[in-house]
């Protein structure tokens, strides 16, 4: 049986709180196969909590920069034609009655890493229809 492709994701214990989102601050590795490669990706995920960008973000948010607790998740990779990231509160305006959905072709990593300008949908929670959309230009 060929090696199963996995995603190796890091998540700090204090990320994604009320104010800080940490999107893109810690590393994620996709399409990892084989035990040695998974072990290496785990080590790099743990190290990413001490990266210059992660430490700067923590300082900006008023969070501790030493002894950061990080979990590493290993998930079976699901190949995707399209992916989305949803916010249960509008991260720009703080509106609690809106859901914001950012979507793009392929894996969601392109969205959270900032590699693309995703399509954006604003949906009111009381009326589950998009009230605003912004479709980004995509190359094929």
| DSSP, res 81 | S
- Tell me the per-residue pLDDT of 78-97, one tens digit each, with 9 for 90 and over: 888 999 999 888 888 999 99
CB 136 within 8 A of CB 116: yes
SS3 19: coil
Beta strands per DSSP E along 1-140: 6-12, 28-32, 70-76, 82-87, 98-105, 119-124, 130-134
Task: CATH number of the domain at 36, please.
Answer: 3.30.1490.20
Q: What is the pLDDT of residue 16?
A: 59
Q: What is the pLDDT of residue 55?
A: 83
CB 70 within 8 A of CB 46: yes
Q: Which of 54-63, 98-107, 125-134 comes out lowest in average pLDDT? A: 54-63
Helices (H), the chain: 35-48, 52-61, 109-112
Assess whether 65 and 107 both reside in one domain.
Answer: no
pLDDT exceeds 50 at position 106? yes
- Tell me the per-residue pLDDT of 9-42, one tens digit each, with 9 for 90 and over: 887 766 655 666 666 677 889 999 999 999 999 9
Assess whether 86 and 137 both reside in one domain.
Answer: yes
Assess whether 72 and 84 both reside in one domain.
Answer: no
Distance CA 37, CA 70 (A): 19
* pLDDT above 90 as % of the chain: 38
* Total domain count, the chain: 2
């Amino acid at each position: 049986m060929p090696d199963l492709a996995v995603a190796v994701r890091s998540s700090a214990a204090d990320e994604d709180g009320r104010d800080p989102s940490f999107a893109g601050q810690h590393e994620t590795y996709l399409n990892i196969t084989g035990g040695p490669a998974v072990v290496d990706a785990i080590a790099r995920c743990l190290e990413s909590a001490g990266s210059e960008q992660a430490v700067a973000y923590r300082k900006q948010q008023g969070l501790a920069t030493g002894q950061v607790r990080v979990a590493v998740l290993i998930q079976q990779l699901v190949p995707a034609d399209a992916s989305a990231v949803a916010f249960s509160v509008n991260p720009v305006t703080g509106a609690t009655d809106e859901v914001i959905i950012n979507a793009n072709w392929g894996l969601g990593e392109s969205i959270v890493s900032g590699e693309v300008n995703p399509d954006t949908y604003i949906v009111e929670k009381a009326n589950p229809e998009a009230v605003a959309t912004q479709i980004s230009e995509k190359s094929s």
